[in-house]
Amino acid sequence: MGVQDHASTGKPRRRGLRIAGGIIGAAALLAAGTLGTMRLGWWNPSYDEVVAEQATGPSRFEMVGPVKLHVRDEGQGPVILMLHSSMSNLRIWDGWADQLKKSYRVVRFDWPPYGMSVDPRASQGMPTVVDLIERFVAQKKLRNFVIVASSSGATIATMYTARHPEHVRALAVSTLPLKAPPPTQTSRLVSTMSWMHENLVPNYMPEVFYRHSLAELYGRLERLKPETVRWYYLTNNIPGGFARVKTYYLANTKSVWKSGAGEAAAAVKVPVLLQWGDRDIVIPKDRAEDARTMFANAPMTIIHYPDVGHYPMIELPERTGQDLRKWIDALSPVAAD
- pLDDT score at 269: 97
Contact by Cβ (8 Å): 126, 159: yes
Could you give the strand order of the β-sheet that contains 168-174, starting from the edge strand earlier in sequence? 60-64, 67-74, 105-109, 79-83, 145-150, 168-174, 272-277, 300-305
- pLDDT score at 19: 65
Who contacts 188 (Cβ-Cβ below 8 Å, separation ≥6)? none
Over the chain (337 residues), the average pLDDT of each successive run of 10 is 53 67 63 76 93 95 98 98 97 98 98 97 95 98 97 96 97 90 91 94 95 97 97 97 96 91 96 96 89 94 96 98 98 73
- pLDDT score at 25: 63
Measured CA to CA, the distance from residue 158 to residue 176 in angstroms comes to: 9
Give the closest residue to 316 by CA, choosing from 208, 225, 200. Answer: 225
> How is the chain split into domains, by residue range?
1-40, 47-183+237-329
Contact by Cβ (8 Å): 95, 313: yes
Please give the CATH architecture assigned to the domain spanning 47-183+237-329: 3-Layer(aba) Sandwich (3.40)
Q: Is the pTM of this model over 0.85?
A: yes
- pLDDT score at 6: 52
- pLDDT score at 3: 46
- pLDDT score at 263: 95
The CA–CA distances, whole Å, from 48 to 51, 52, 110, 235 equal 5, 6, 16, 11
- pLDDT score at 5: 54
Residue 314: how many CA atoms within 13 Å on its side-chain side? 26
Contact by Cβ (8 Å): 285, 276: yes
For helices 47-54 and 226-236, the axis angle rounded to 10 degrees is 150
Torsion angles phi and psi, residue 261, rounded to 5: -110, 25
Q: What is the 3-state secondary structure (H, E, C) of 195-243?
A: HHHHHCCCCCCCHHHHHHHHHHHCCCHHHCCHHHHHHHHHHHCCCCHHH
Who contacts 123 (Cβ-Cβ below 8 Å, separation ≥6)? 112, 113, 244, 247, 248, 251
- pLDDT score at 272: 97
CB burial readout 269-301, b (16+ within 10 A) else e = ebbbbbbbbebbbbbeeebbebbbebbeebebe
